[in-house]
Structure 1
């Protein structure tokens, strides 16, 4: 079992992964499995190896400790935690050897290290991987768990849709490929079953929210008994990993396990669903402080054709074919699909807003130790300025622990009910005409909260407060109203 922290479905499809591409072609893949909420490490690693969700194992967030719980697990085993596959193996196959090699120190508090024959932890992911492989071939354990954290660190440092993040995945893809080659050389691959997955995905610089970018993870199955080249069509979840591993070891999960064996991966191939990865778009969507920009589309493993539209409509094989960078000089909603032999990937969508209007938003910037929104209206800002829209894209800020106040004027053309959306990591308030419409406060991952208000035709004041605690940072506002589908609140809605 190889786990790469923050290894998302998008990460697999956009990174250069020749080793895993070969494993997908010769094995089975659930391309869009889902983890559990919240999309942070502690509950998800636990669900991965216990086959249950947080309600059962009792671990709901990263603050959990054995002596600091929200609630007790529904059962415990040899240690005061929910029994994982480690305990299942120990109880039912006491002769089986188990190795547990990991980079993130937090993993050891969730599982029964006392039943493991060999465990090793280092802050260096390369050392963890290399030692795991070395001891595997020395001792041939029946079960090896290998957990790598550096992929998550790359997501936080560079962003989860960046080359830096993809490079981290590519690096460990090479390590996995070398491991597979050694198994083949030792004539052990035919006796080995391998699963590769992640504990959650990510968006921008963080995770912990409720977007599909954070929820969706790949589960790759390879080796003994796996149907060759099968893309799984049933829905799968992170808690299906442990029951599937147990199936191979002849071990039964305890009663109450909600995860199930991924039997579809072992049944004869049926249907014709193919693995068609999504393309990567550069530059990343959002506000672009330029009057024009060239958009480049790339594929980690080019096989088919890319089709695109710029108006948000779903592209088909009758749409424009990508063969050179796309130059845009006005706002655009780029939608791209990858088609191979008549089968299409998911549509990749990226919104671009260019600096073609006046800077209609006034902002003030603050710094401090914030875990919730402070009284910004009573604080002295460190600097101030004007921007085209209410977002972080135009404002230079430090990595963590900062806050912003935005002020502007809405220009409403049609009287009626309007819904505003504040999507932020971490907290935010939104005021219309001095009335707090949205309270999205607190230290949290990217979370969207909405509020509805009746507005007359004319102008209305809008004010937004925002703060960043640590980890990721993001802020975007959307509007929906009479004749206006939900969309980013851009300069065209401002006076």
Structure 2
């Protein structure tokens, strides 16, 4: 006789529990998703530029400051990954040269037009009646998605016209999914350099355009049903991107609007291809099995961080060594007939900074930094911050090179005007341009720009001698954008040739004590350029090859 009431009570409890549990199908009430993609927008840009609109979106929304991009950290493969929910290994867009009729890696699965499934095509098949529109500033974005999956497809030539057209589209069509791409921040990064005044001004301009789009959404009467997402394809370093550094391969993801937590910092790891999965989740459609992305559910009200989330060890902010890194200049600097002063700052409250000047890694017994100090000779300064519990930060490195004039130091550098170079040229067949004495292996942008004759493709050859104090095996490294090679005693040691973003390659060679001929050949295809050369050996920590060890003769 008691079984029936117990059963009814149990069913009622289950019913109440079911009603109170958030469904995994989709957040409630989101009818529109607007994605604002900004090419080249870095977390540093948001934090340091004047961005009142983005600041408000972060304060009243959810943010992930270190979304990891796919590699290389360039545009095509990252925009593709954003809308395709997968990485280059799956969708086959492996570089900026990718074209539908010219690529080497086919997608692991493709639709009738040969492209990997995108959020646009998946949404169109699931809900063919809904409005989908794409407006973009960079023409290359238009080759990445299925044209028959969108109702509106428009490319504009400026950021202002792109914003105006997209706002008009939102007001007129009230799309279920609207995606806009802006390219001007990336242009500023290439022209003025990431971290430059020009770059930050371009971020401020993007912020104002985002504000206009939000106003357009409100004017359309759909703000209370709309999810807005801010995303980027990559950051940058110096005048370019493409390398595997946090500055290049981390972006910020911002979620704002309907069903989004306010003032929330997302803990789960997020990758650029999670964007497509999050759009699918918000719109209540099932993602293809071929996608590897996961929706960022923790950003939404009613959803928690993943139960199996593993955050690893606590991250402690690394200290800053001044002069800090600027554009392509490494932290530290070159001091000729000057005495450098080293200043170190930490962002860790009640923390301790420990440092070394001999290139060894600082530990718990290394000197404690208390005030600025001077250096009398070339040194690699390393610093690490420790919090109150003794947790260490990542290392910070700075390369201080100290030399005296009149000692015969330097390298002979020779400029060669190129024409769309794609690899290091045969210098014997090129016409020599200007020559000068360079203190180290490096390029001064303003000086190079004065030598260009309307074509940004050029090559430079550095020749001289390196002083080796202790015999043994030496590791040489070049970091360059684009290609470079390093030779010692006439033999190739490092091959870093070809078109690429900032990329590091190494090589080793046995050397005797004394002077050895050294040569670095470098070329730039176009756009941003950078060259650094490092070495490491017996008694020598990895460092920029310093001016006091390089000689013209």
| TM-score bucket of the superposed structures, by smaller chain | 0.7 to 0.9
Partner of 2:461: 405
Partner of 2:246: 212
- Aligned runs of 1:123-142 on 2, under 5 Å? 123-142=157-176
In structure 2, C-alpha distance between the alignment counterparts of 1:191 and 1:146, rounded to whole Å = 19
CA contact (8 A) 1:373 1:427 kept: yes
In structure 2, C-alpha distance between the alignment counterparts of 1:151 and 1:161, rounded to whole Å = 11
In structure 1, C-alpha distance between the alignment counterparts of 2:403 and 2:87, rounded to whole Å = 45
Partner of 1:368: 418
CA contact (8 A) 1:289 1:394 kept: no
- Aligned runs of 1:43-122 on 2, under 5 Å? 43-122=77-156
In structure 2, C-alpha distance between the alignment counterparts of 1:321 and 1:460, rounded to whole Å = 39
Partner of 2:41: 7
Cα distance change on mapping 1:120 and 1:329 into 2, 3 Å:
farther
CA contact (8 A) 2:457 2:524 kept: yes
Partner of 2:214: 180
Offset at residue 183 of structure 1 (A): 4.4
Partner of 2:476: 420
Offset at residue 354 of structure 1 (A): 6.8
In structure 1, C-alpha distance between the alignment counterparts of 2:36 and 2:363, rounded to whole Å = 36
In structure 2, C-alpha distance between the alignment counterparts of 1:189 and 1:201, rounded to whole Å = 29
Scaled by the length of structure 2, what TM-score is found?
0.77
Offset at residue 238 of structure 1 (A): 0.7
In structure 2, C-alpha distance between the alignment counterparts of 1:119 and 1:309, rounded to whole Å = 56
Matched, 1:381 2:432: yes
Cα distance change on mapping 1:59 and 1:25 into 2, 3 Å:
same
Matched, 1:396 2:452: no
CA contact (8 A) 2:343 2:371 kept: no
CA RMSD of aligned residues (A): 3.9
CA contact (8 A) 2:195 2:326 kept: no
The answer to which of 181-190 and 375-384 deviates more is 181-190
The answer to which of 374-383 and 436-445 deviates more is 374-383
Cα distance change on mapping 1:112 and 1:137 into 2, 3 Å:
same
Offset at residue 164 of structure 1 (A): 0.8
Cα distance change on mapping 1:333 and 1:262 into 2, 3 Å:
same
**CA deviation vs aligned residue, 1:356-403 (integer Å, no higher than 9, x gap):** 555421111111222211122454421212111111138822462111
In structure 2, C-alpha distance between the alignment counterparts of 1:418 and 1:469, rounded to whole Å = 30
- Aligned runs of 1:252-291 on 2, under 5 Å? 252-266=286-300, 267=303, 284=327, 285-286=329-330, 291=338
The answer to which of 270-279 and 130-139 deviates more is 270-279
The answer to which of 18-27 and 271-280 deviates more is 271-280
Q: Which runs of 5+ in 2 are unaligned?
A: 1-34
Offset at residue 51 of structure 1 (A): 0.2
Partner of 2:510: 454
Q: Counterpart of 1:396 in 2: which secondary structure? A: helix
Cα distance change on mapping 1:185 and 1:261 into 2, 3 Å:
same
Partner of 1:469: 525
Offset at residue 327 of structure 1 (A): 11
Q: Counterpart of 2:56 in 1: which secondary structure? A: helix
In structure 2, C-alpha distance between the alignment counterparts of 1:345 and 1:228, rounded to whole Å = 29
In structure 2, C-alpha distance between the alignment counterparts of 1:212 and 1:173, rounded to whole Å = 23
**CA deviation vs aligned residue, 1:197-224 (integer Å, no higher than 9, x gap):** 1111222222223333221111111222
2:197 to 163, 167, 186: 163
Q: Which runs of 5+ in 1 are unaligned?
A: none
Partner of 1:437: 493
Cα distance change on mapping 1:214 and 1:187 into 2, 3 Å:
same
Q: Counterpart of 2:464 in 1: which secondary structure? A: strand
**CA deviation vs aligned residue, 1:15-42 (integer Å, no higher than 9, x gap):** 2222212222222211111111222211
In structure 1, C-alpha distance between the alignment counterparts of 2:54 and 2:317, rounded to whole Å = 14
In structure 1, C-alpha distance between the alignment counterparts of 2:181 and 2:392, rounded to whole Å = 32
**CA deviation vs aligned residue, 1:150-190 (integer Å, no higher than 9, x gap):** 11111111112211111111111122134335545776433
1:202 to 223, 232, 236: 236
CA contact (8 A) 2:362 2:382 kept: no
Cα distance change on mapping 1:206 and 1:27 into 2, 3 Å:
same
Q: Counterpart of 1:114 in 2: which secondary structure? A: helix
CA contact (8 A) 2:297 2:304 kept: no
Cα distance change on mapping 1:90 and 1:493 into 2, 3 Å:
same
Cα distance change on mapping 1:380 and 1:95 into 2, 3 Å:
closer
In structure 2, C-alpha distance between the alignment counterparts of 1:72 and 1:150, rounded to whole Å = 31
CA contact (8 A) 1:282 1:295 kept: no
1:153 to 183, 187, 193: 187
Q: How many residues align?
A: 487
- Aligned runs of 1:320-359 on 2, under 5 Å? 353=401, 357=405, 359=409
